[in-house]
Amino acid sequence: NAGVTQTPKFQVLKTGQSMTLQCAQDMNHNSMYWYRQDPGMGLRLIYYSASEGTTDKGEVPNGYNVSRLNKREFSLRLESAAPSQTSVYFCASSDVTGGVTDTQYFGPGTRLTVL
């Protein structure tokens, strides 16, 4: 099992460019998440998807859109990149056991720089 995979690993964009970060999991989890990680701020949730066909905003959704393409795949799109979106982006997936979020499994991350 590959677990959670993310592409690309690195990306450099110019301000105003768009891109899509891809994420896939092979653990048959219902829930998937996108986080960003910035120095001194820990992990901040951008969007999540509790199940196929549903998405909801997290703590910092502005400037991002997501698509839950199927149970395996959850993509994050930056429509018009800004320097403030320079960050490391992590995708994660988990089960919800008895109505409670269980262990989240993380991908290796995408390091994005916006110039």
Partner 1 sequence: AQSVTQLGSHVSVSEGALVLLRCNYSSSVPPYLFWYVQYPNQGLQLLLKYTSAATLVKGINGFEAEFKKSETSFHLTKPSAHMSDAAEYFCAVTAGGANNLFFGTGTRLTVIP
Which positions lie near partner 1, rule CB under 8 A?
4, 30-31, 40-43, 45, 48, 50-51, 56, 58, 90, 92, 94, 96, 98-109
Residue 17 CA to residue 101 CA, distance in Å, equals 35
- Residue nearer to partner 1 on the CB measure, 31 or 85: 31
- Residue nearer to partner 1 on the CB measure, 41 or 82: 41
Least Å from the CB of residue 63 to partner 1:
19
Least Å from the CB of residue 87 to partner 1:
14
Q: What is the DSSP string of 41-106?
A: TEEEEEEEESSTT--EE-S--TTEEEEE-SSSBEEEEESS--GGG-EEEEEEEE-EETTEE---EE
